Each structure stands twice: as structure tokens, then as C-alpha cells.
Chain A
Amino acid sequence: MTENVKSINFMSVGNYFFPLSMIIIIISVSLLLFSKVNLGIDFTSGTRFDLTILSDKNKILKISDLTNAIDTLGLKNEFIIKELKSEKTVDYQMFSIISQNNFDEQLILNAFKSNLKISGDSLKPIQTVTISPKMGKELIRSASISLGLAVLLILIYITIRFNSFFAVSSILALIHDVSITVGIFILFGLEVNLPIIAAFLTILGYSLNDTIVVFDRIRENLNKSKKKDNITDITNLSINQTLTRTILTSLTTLIVLLILYLIGNYLIKLFTFALIIGVAIGTYSSIFVAGFCFNMLYNKYGYILNSEEADEEKL
């Protein structure tokens, strides 16, 4: 055992963090069950038209202005208009016009030109997406299956490569990471679209990646240890040994994500935001959820494993 490694006693700190994390999981899961998730048209189907309007410094456009302009068209559609405030600059405002039924964005542009007294050049269409109800159903199906499949495959893989204590602990960490990220999205009413689901899956992969590095070290130290060694000491040691790597990798990833966030457009920003939360929480959970949980389980039930090994030795 190395005495000159500066050892932080993670497990004792974990005594406070772990219950806190569990509470946050419960809050997040209840948010998921009882509040409405802001689903994008990928899942709800419909048409969404995003555009920027060059604004007059004196006149800031309000959603009601746009609604009134569209009403003059006398269309049967019901429109929801949102302003993407994160994209607002001194020069322009960005709006999203959403409807369950298809509409021609050219009509909308014409209505704005005539009613809001804006020239054609001030209106810049960014993108229009139409998803049919059938496609919306398909996408919900794919998203659910992929999330379910990911969890299943991960469960199988970990159980094969590590023992069940590790498996349970890592699954707990994954639930922690994804539910908190989803919870934050729900709390702030952020839109969940297909790329966000992809971000969740990436978070799963990344968080697991991180957890496995720690577990791999714990496993190695366990194998090297003797019967009298305290599991908490081993866990602490392993985490300390992998600390440099954990911090470095998270840092490089976060730097890169931050750059993407600052520079990206509104689509990329949301996607990157999810990843940033996921990476940050994933790093935290590898130590204070997965690591702590494993430590706790091994302390309580580790004798089962040890007796199994003893039986094998006898044979």
C-alpha cells in the first residue's frame, strides 16, 4: 500500500453525498412521472418553423404581435409561437412557430411582411420541420427501444465483466445521471427532441466509461489485497489513484463541450447543454454513487463473495 499518496477519504464524504443523490433521484423521477415533458415535434408530430426577424432597436416584437399577424390569415391551424430568448441579440429575435397540422411557411412570411411592416429582407427562415403522426409514433418507439436496449446491454456487459456488486452500483449511477439530466430538462421546460435522446444515450455511455475505470482499479486492488484489508480503504485508494485521470478526462471533455456551447447555434446549444450536465454529473456519480454504493454493498454482503471463494479454494 502506498502511504505517500495523498489520500482523500471519499467514502466518508460520500456518507453525506450519497443520500443527497438518492433524494435527488426520487425528485427527478417524480418530476418525470408527474410533470409534462416538453416534447419536440419529433415526438408530437406537426410542423415547426424557425425564423429570425431583424429587429428595430426601438421596437421589440412580442409573441402577441406575431399571433395577431397570423390570425389575419384565417387559417384553421392552431399555432403556438415561442421566442427563443437565448438567441436574442441586439440585431435580431428568433421565433418558433409550431402547429399540429401542416402549413405553408410562405403564407406566414407574407402575413408578417404585411402586418408587422417588416421588409422581406428582415425575415430570415432558418428551418422548417414537418413530422407526420406516423413518423412521430415511429420515433417515440425508436427512442424508447434504444434507451431500453442500451440499459439492457450495459447490464449484461457489466455482469459478465464484473461481479454483481459492481453491476448494481453502476446501474444506480446511470439511473442517477440520466434522471437528473432529464429532471433538469423538465424543471426548466427545455425541449426534448430526438438529438436530446441521443445526448442521453451518449451520457449513458460516457458515465459508464468513467465508472468502469474506477471499478477496474478497485477490482485490481481487491485482487492484490489480503483478507484483512478494509474494503473502504481499498475503495478510497482506488479512487485516489484514478483521480488524476478522472479529472483530466472530464476537464478536456468539458472544455470542448463548453466551446461548442458558446459557439453553437440554438440546436447545438441544447444538445451540448445536456452533455455538459451529463458529463459533470457522470464524473461525480462514478465516485459518490457507484463507488459509494459498491463500498456499502461489499461491506454488508461481501462475505458472500468471500465464502464463495473459500468454497472454491476448498475444492
Chain B
Amino acid sequence: MSTFTIKIAERIFAVEAMYPDVERLCADYITESATPEAVFQITEEDIQLERRKCAQEAIYEHRPIPLYPAGTLEETAVLRKLAEYLSRNGDTVMHGVLLDYHGRGVLFTAPSGTGKSTHAENWRKVFPECRIINGDKPVIAVHESAVTGYGTPWAGKEGIHVNASVPLEAIVFLHRSETNQIEEISFQKAIPMLISCVFRSPDRGGVKRAMLTVSSLNGRVKFYSLGCTMDAESAAVACDTIFGGDAPEGGG
């Protein structure tokens, strides 16, 4: 049994885990604060739910069913409880890579295997000063006037994450292409892709909340469609359009 407190996206949560894996995963986010706003207690049922979901996804995607250890499944169970809690309280977890470019945030999203991580690495090659805040599941918080992206420990295969935040200026929908081309798209065009990358629990209430979260992004961030190759030039092409090619004065 492992009990600890974490701070993610300015919120404090207590976690009661059955295995030590998730505490190790959350090491950079552990806090001594004593007043959590929620407690995530993981049970054997939660772990079995994750096992079933993994199996279900593998079946839908026609691949072998993976056999993850219980500790690994518990990490996902905590993420699910976090995402469900956040979705009920105005924030959300999105599937994508969150990049900080001179204090300006951009989220790249696409189905798994499209090349988000490769594209993010291309940004780091071309702009060594930029950093990846989270490589897979950042938290996105929509406030009155701004949207902020936060790091979380759930960072995908590469495990790249920083316990930091950045104002989010753009969401970019990636797809592979023979050439690098980017265009700004309307919120209307972005809606189906946004719904696909925002966390939603499968019940009707969860779907409604996800759709409201998507709606709240309208007018607060810009949306782009990026067809990209796997080479570094794609980052320069994207940056030129999204950020005008220049770092802001005094940014960093």
C-alpha cells in the first residue's frame, strides 16, 4: 500500500495505491501539502477495469492483447480517476504533446503512431531552447481569459515530462504528408478532432462534459492542420506560421 499527495495543474490530490509503481511515476509531482481536494483510492476493481479496457482496445485494433503487470495498470487507473475528476471540475486531460516555445504553448495531437513525438523532437532539434512539457497526456485548464497547459507524469513511451505549465496558444492537428504544409482552421473544422483528443468517460454525462470543454476552447486558442514529413524542416514550417518564426522579446 502506498499513500502520497501530488500537485498537478495547481490542484492537490491524495493517492492511495496498492502498488509502488504509481508513486515512483509521480515522483516529480509529490507534495507535502496536507489538504487534497480529492482522494484517488485504487481498488482491485479499478485495476481489472484497466485490464479489460486494454484487452478491448487491442481487440478493436486487431493486435495481441497485452499483459501488463498490475502496478502498470494501476498507473493508468490513477490517470483515469484524475481525468474524470478534472472533467467534472472545468479542466481536462488531452492526448497530445505539449510544447513550450519561449513561454508560449502549443499542443500537437493526432492518432497514436502518426508522429507527434517525432515532430516534437524535430522542434527540439531546430529550436533547442524549447522544451516538451508533456509527451502524451497534459492537463489543459480553461480559465476566463486564457488556457494553460500543465505537465503530468503520464507522458507516453518516451516518458518526457516536466512539472511545469505554459499558456496554450495553439492546438495543431497532425497528419503525415509528402510535404510540410500548415494552415489555420476554424473551430468548426477542429471540433471532430478536438472531441477525439479530449478525455471523456463513456457515459452520456462524460460525453457532454467533453463537448462543453471543447466548446470552451473556441476563441481562446488557434487551431491548425499540419501535414508534415518526419524531418526537422517540419518544425520550422510549423513555427513560422504558429509563432511567426520569432521568439517574443524577453520570452523564455
Partners in one complex: no
Residues of chain B having any CB pair with chain A under 8 Å = none
